[in-house]
């Protein structure tokens, strides 16, 4: 039977190559994702292996608030601690680090590398024994000198000896660039270094450090940590250099694992779609070789042997597809690496290779298993009949099972969306999978009336080719449904993403209209805060009536880590159009306002006192002075400004609220002129806030749609495969049509119309499911800010047109092949 398998592979090369394409595309996604994340892991490992290699122990403030993962609200370490650890036996070369936000303004007047949530812009003090080496120039000395990384200097067209503007959370400064540093591959991050006093003044607070690192003169890291810990005041902690690096590695690893899982989900979707194509192809191949397989049974081949022969073909297709998919995955990983700006070559491990072959071969074999079993059931006597065909099972069991799966899947989705706790994601994912399988099983029943309606205009307008296309699409509902189901899955997910995107845009617009009452909002871009000196300048701007700053802090309130807002509470209430339910906005020196949901959950009311622990480790009791209706713009808590200032080492304004006499272009231009020395600050009115929000949503929708487009491409390959095999199956029929007078043009038109009908049917099925999923998600997330449902009908119509175009393109080669058939040879085909 091995020879039979090889002969069949050689005889059906073109048919199986198209099947292999589906495997290649799916495997490429998996392999590319694994290779890219392996490369990123290796790059970060190399980076951390050379950063802090001489650090035996690091001293820092204890983290109080769990939400402070980036350390932005961490309490600084007093200089007195540095003096204390210097006297600890075994401590060598202790050095106080200062870190914070610092950005470089390029020759074009724009902040280098500023891109919203892009790479970090780091400021630090120069450590001659630190992780960075001077590439050219010298170390900074004095309050007007700075060194910057060579990559930033190149992007900003800044040379050693020139003057550069440095932007921090305080007043921007013009400083002389005295050196360039080599930071290695930090993937776009900006590094700016000052001498220690200057760094403390600009980034933190004079007389304080972010942390203190030290080497060891002999003791082990654990022993030195124990000794240093005894010399530390309350609120400080010591960690070994190994622990520090592992913490950072762990944070990066968590991010990379999420990214890997995120991409692999889309890869699995593509593979899932490919499975439909493989199943459909092998079903058609088996059907076309029914007499051949019956002859094998007649000459003594056992059922298991026939099954193994077909499975052997699947293994070969899976192996070849996996091999080419692995190679294509390397190309995809290289493209992702180039897009991320990460230099160097790819890292190759065994994991992508193993998973590529496992996924490619297993999916192909599983998809081909049922057609293989069906082939083995062909009775030997069938070889003697001319009209031999595979027996078709009744659709009753299929309809019953499909209906059950659809209902169960919908139930799981509903349970997950209504609050399935930690298993919500699994419930929704399992439910969606169940619905897809259920609808795919019901598709043969659904296809008959839908295809009849879709093809009716073709039958009337296109005449004979249109009627034949309709009959061909209806001839085998199972095949039509299986082909359309592959397209259904991709378009269902793309439609759902677009419905969610449109709903997000509409919800944000409505939220801004309802809750944003200020005329202008000034915010820092790319990190950092707002210089306190900006406020009086803005207030003095022509046309401005009032301006106030807001602050954002972190605390543990009633035992839970949370983010709160502080500032001029009356101005915040006015800017957010807060609806005060009880109490008022006068918070005094130690008051707090909370939203209704928080008050209800915690059992608080006006006059309740609540214990709060802040990032400096100190605890203070706050009095609830007011309760307001839910506001997505300011969150659930507002705390009196004196409390924030008392517990924050370096207060940094998060936003500036501005009211003006007129919101015309002149006022906005005047504000931008006032802030010209602060290129990191952006002035926004309601229109620009909406525009920025739409841009973010559009980016997410586009990104997800591109990832899902792979499944649509695979589905298009499936349509090509089905039509190509259908043309081969109908060779004699096509010959007879040509013999009775149908032209080649009419024949090609018939196949194109059949392809369009299948593609549009799949698109309609997918878009229907996608709209339903999107509406269900929006309804479930109403309380999370997604208050408005919006269905992008224009986009859906465009997708329908795209589906029709896919149908036309998919039919080009099968139609061309059908038109080139020799009439006499086609008629004589058995």
pLDDT of residue 394: 63
Residue 402 lies in a domain: no
E strand or H helix that includes residue 182: strand 173-182
Collapse the DSSP code of 576 into the 3-class scheme (helix H, G, I; strand E, B; otherwise coil) and give the result.
Answer: coil
Print the SS3 string covering 614-677: ECCCCEEEEEEEEEECCCCCCCCEEEEHHHHHHCCCCCCEEEEEEEECCCCHHHHHHHHHHCCC
Q: How far apart are CA 770 and CA 777, in angstroms?
A: 11
Greater confidence (539 vs 650) lies with: 539
Going from the C-alpha of 79 to that of each of 128, 193, 194, 257, the distances in angstroms are: 19, 19, 18, 38
Residues 184 and 198 in one domain: yes
How confident is the model over 53-73, as a mean pLDDT?
73
Greater confidence (478 vs 667) lies with: 667
**Which structural domain, as residue segments, surrounds residue 118?**
55-252
How confident is the model over 785-802, as a mean pLDDT?
90
- What backbone torsions phi and psi does residue 724 show, to the nearest 5 degrees? -60, -45
Q: Are 810 and 724 in contact (CB under 8 A)?
A: no
Residues 71 and 208 in one domain: yes
pLDDT in tens, 711-729: 888 888 888 877 877 777 7
pLDDT of residue 721: 77
pLDDT in tens, 147-205: 999 988 998 999 999 999 999 888 889 999 999 998 766 656 789 999 999 999 999 88
- Domain total in the chain: 3
Greater confidence (829 vs 202) lies with: 202
Print the SS3 string covering 117-177: CCCCEEEEECCCCCCCEEEEECCCCCCCEEEEEHHHHHHHCCCCCCEEEEECCCCCEEEEE
Residue 398 lies in a domain: no
DSSP structure class, residue 111: B
Side-chain half-sphere CA neighbours of 386 within 13 A: 2
Residue 591 lies in a domain: yes
Residues 95 and 195 in one domain: yes
pLDDT of residue 70: 47
pLDDT in tens, 379-411: 766 555 545 455 556 678 888 888 898 899 888
Q: How far apart are CA 711 and CA 482, in angstroms?
A: 15
Residue 389 lies in a domain: no
The residue among 684, 719, 754 that closes a domain is 684
At 544, list the tokens: 């401005």
Residues 627 and 668 in one domain: yes
Residue whose C-alpha is closest to residue 517's, from 392, 349, 633, 665: 633
Q: Give just the sign of the alpha carbon dihedral 751, 755, 758, 761.
A: negative
Share above pLDDT 90 across residues of the chain, in percent, rounded to a whole number: 28
Residue 531 lies in a domain: yes
- What backbone torsions phi and psi does residue 567 show, to the nearest 5 degrees? 145, -155
Least confident of 184-188, 231-235, 599-603, 783-787: 184-188
Dihedral of CA atoms 614, 616, 622, 628 in degrees, nearest 10, equals -40
pLDDT at 652 over 90: no
Least confident of 71-85, 418-432, 815-829: 418-432
Residues β-bridged to residue 239: 58
The residue among 219, 237, 252 that closes a domain is 252
pLDDT of residue 81: 94
Residues 92 and 165 in one domain: yes
Residues β-bridged to residue 240: 57
- In which band, very low, low, confident or very high, does the pLDDT at 538 lie, cut at 50, 70 and 90? very high
Using DSSP bridges, classify how beta strands 57-61 and 236-240 pair: parallel, antiparallel or unpaired. Answer: antiparallel
How confident is the model over 505-532, as a mean pLDDT?
86
pLDDT of residue 69: 47
Q: How far apart are CA 550 and CA 590, in angstroms?
A: 17
Beta-strand runs (E) in 481-636? 520-524, 544-557, 560-567, 580-583, 591-595, 609-614, 619-628
Residue 718 has a CB neighbour count (10 Å cut-off) of 31
State the first-to-last Cα distance of the chain, in angstroms, to the nearest integer. 24
- State the chain's mean pLDDT as an integer: 84
pLDDT in tens, 676-708: 888 888 999 888 989 988 988 998 898 888 888
Residues 536 and 568 in one domain: yes
Residues 729 and 603 in one domain: no
Those residues with Cβ within 8 angstroms of residue 415's Cβ, 6 or more apart along the chain or in another chain: 427, 431
Residues 527 and 549 in one domain: yes
- In which band, very low, low, confident or very high, does the pLDDT at 529 lie, cut at 50, 70 and 90? confident
- In which band, very low, low, confident or very high, does the pLDDT at 373 lie, cut at 50, 70 and 90? confident
Helix 744-780 and helix 793-819, axial crossing angle in degrees, nearest 10: 150
DSSP structure class, residue 207: T
Please give the distance of CA 208 from its chain centroid, rounded to a whole number: 39
How confident is the model over 290-315, as a mean pLDDT?
75
Residues 105 and 203 in one domain: yes
Q: Are 750 and 465 in contact (CB under 8 A)?
A: yes
Helix 395-417 and helix 744-780, axial crossing angle in degrees, nearest 10: 40
Residue 805 lies in a domain: yes
Residue 41 lies in a domain: no
Dihedral of CA atoms 304, 478, 473, 410 in degrees, nearest 10, equals -150
The residue among 209, 227, 252 that closes a domain is 252
Those residues with Cβ within 8 angstroms of residue 115's Cβ, 6 or more apart along the chain or in another chain: 526
Residue 742 lies in a domain: yes
pLDDT of residue 80: 93
Residues 582 and 475 in one domain: no
E strand or H helix that includes residue 287: helix 241-288
Residues 540 and 611 in one domain: yes
Residue whose C-alpha is closest to residue 109's, from 568, 559, 617, 672: 672
pLDDT at 321 over 80: yes
Print the SS3 string covering 304-367: HHHHHHHHHHHHHHHHHHHHHHHHHHHHHHHHHHHHHCCCCCCCCCHHHHHHHHHHHHHHHHHH
Q: How far apart are CA 132 and CA 50, in angstroms?
A: 9
Please, what is the Cα angle at 364 between 1 and 398, to 5 degrees? 100
pLDDT of residue 14: 64
Q: Give just the sign of the alpha carbon dihedral 360, 361, 367, 368.
A: positive
Collapse the DSSP code of 76 into the 3-class scheme (helix H, G, I; strand E, B; otherwise coil) and give the result.
Answer: coil
- In which band, very low, low, confident or very high, does the pLDDT at 226 lie, cut at 50, 70 and 90? very high
Q: Give just the sign of the alpha carbon dihedral 395, 401, 404, 405.
A: negative
pTM of the model: 0.80
How confident is the model over 466-472, as a mean pLDDT?
86
pLDDT in tens, 346-365: 888 888 899 999 988 998 88
pLDDT of residue 2: 58
Residues β-bridged to residue 212: 59, 96
Residues 710 and 761 in one domain: yes
């Amino acid at each position: 039977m091995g020879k039979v398998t090889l002969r069949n592979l050689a005889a059906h090369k073109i048919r199986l190559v198209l099947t292999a394409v589906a495997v290649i595309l799916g495997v490429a996604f998996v392999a590319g994702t694994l290779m890219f994340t392996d490369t990123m892991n290796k790059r970060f490992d190399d980076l951390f292996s050379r950063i802090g290699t001489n650090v035996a122990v690091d001293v820092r403030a204890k983290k109080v608030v769990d939400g402070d993962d980036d350390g932005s609200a961490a309490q600084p370490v007093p200089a007195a601690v540095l003096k204390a650890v210097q006297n600890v036996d075994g401590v060598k070369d202790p050095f106080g680090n200062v870190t914070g936000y610092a950005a470089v303004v390029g020759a074009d007047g724009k902040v280098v590398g500023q891109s919203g949530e892009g790479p970090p812009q780091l400021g630090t003090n120069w450590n001659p024994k630190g992780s960075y080496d001077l590439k050219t120039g010298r170390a900074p000395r004095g309050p007007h000198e700075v060194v910057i990384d060579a990559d930033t200097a190149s992007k900003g067209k800044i040379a050693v000896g020139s003057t550069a503007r440095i932007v921090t959370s305080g007043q921007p400064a013009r400083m002389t660039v005295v050196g360039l540093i080599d930071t290695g591959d930090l993937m776009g991050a900006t590094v700016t270094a000052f001498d220690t006093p200057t760094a403390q003044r600009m980034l933190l607070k004079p007389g304080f450090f972010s942390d203190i690192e030290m080497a060891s003169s002999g003791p082990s890291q654990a022993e030195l940590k124990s000794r240093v810990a005894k010399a530390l005041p309350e609120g400080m902690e010591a960690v070994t250099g190994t622990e520090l690096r592992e913490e950072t590695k762990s944070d990066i690893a968590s991010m990379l694992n999420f990214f890997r899982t995120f991409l692999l989900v889309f890869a699995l979707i593509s593979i899932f779609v490919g499975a439909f194509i493989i199943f459909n192809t092998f079903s058609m191949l088996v059907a076309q070789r029914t007499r051949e397989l019956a002859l094998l049974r007649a000459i003594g081949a056992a059922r298991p042997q026939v099954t193994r022969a077909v499975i052997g073909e699947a293994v070969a297709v899976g192996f070849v597809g996996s091999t080419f998919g692995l190679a294509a995955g390397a190309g995809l990983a290289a493209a992702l690496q180039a897009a991320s700006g990460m230099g160097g070559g790819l890292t190759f491990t065994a994991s992508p290779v193993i998973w590529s072959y496992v996924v490619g071969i297993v999916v192909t074999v599983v998809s081909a298993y049922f057609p293989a079993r069906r082939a083995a059931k062909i009775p030997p006597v069938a070889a003697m009949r001319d009209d031999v065909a595979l027996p078709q099972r009744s659709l009753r069991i299929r309809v019953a099972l499909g209906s059950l799966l659809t209902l169960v899947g919908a139930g799981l989705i509903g349970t997950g969306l209504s609050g399935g706790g930690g298993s919500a994601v699994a419930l929704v994912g399992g439910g969606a999978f169940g619905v897809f399988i259920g609808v795919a099983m019901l598709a043969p029943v659904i296809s008959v009336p839908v295809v009849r309606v879709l093809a009716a205009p073709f039958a009337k307008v296109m005449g004979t080719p249109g009627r034949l296309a309709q009959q061909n699409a209806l001839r085998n509902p199972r095949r039509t449904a299986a082909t359309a189901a592959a397209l259904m899955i991709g378009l269902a997910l793309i439609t759902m993403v677009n419905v969610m995107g449109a709903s997000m845009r509409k919800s944000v617009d409505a939220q801004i209209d309802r809750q944003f009452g200020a005329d202008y909002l000034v915010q820092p871009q790319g990190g950092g805060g707002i210089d306190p000196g900006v406020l009086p300048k803005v207030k003095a701007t022509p046309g401005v009536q009032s301006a106030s700053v807001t602050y954002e802090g972190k605390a543990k309130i009633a035992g839970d880590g949370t983010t709160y807002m502080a500032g001029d509470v009356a101005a915040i209430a006015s800017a957010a159009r807060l609806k005060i339910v009880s109490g008022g906005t006068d918070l005094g020196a130690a008051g707090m306002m909370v939203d209704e949901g928080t008050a209800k959950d915690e059992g608080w009311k006006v006059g309740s006192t609540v214990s709060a622990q802040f990032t400096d480790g100190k605890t203070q009791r706050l009095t609830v002075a007011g309760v307001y209706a839910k506001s997505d713009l300011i969150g659930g808590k507002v705390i009196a400004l004196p409390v924030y200032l008392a517990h924050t080492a370096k207060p940094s304004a998060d936003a500036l609220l501005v009211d003006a006499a007129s919101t015309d272009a002149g006022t906005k231009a005047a504000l931008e002129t006032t802030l010209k020395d602060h290129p990191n600050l952006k002035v926004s009115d309601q229109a620009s806030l909406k525009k920025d929000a739409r841009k973010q949503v559009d980016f997410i929708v586009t990104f997800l749609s591109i990832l899902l487009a792979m499944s649509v491409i695979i589905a298009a390959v499936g349509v090509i495969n089905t039509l190509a095999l259908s043309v081969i199956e109908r060779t004699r029929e096509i010959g007879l049509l040509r013999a009775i007078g149908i032209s080649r043009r009419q024949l090609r038109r018939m196949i194109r119309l059949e392809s369009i009908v299948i593609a549009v049917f799949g698109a309609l099925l997918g878009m229907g499911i996608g709209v339903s999923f999107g509406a269900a998600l929006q309804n479930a997330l109403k309380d999370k800010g997604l208050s408005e449902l919006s269905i992008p009908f224009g986009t859906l119509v465009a997708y329908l047109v795209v589906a029709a175009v896919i149908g036309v393109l998919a039919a080009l080669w099968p139609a061309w092949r059908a038109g080139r058939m020799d009439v006499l040879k086609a008629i004589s085909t058995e």
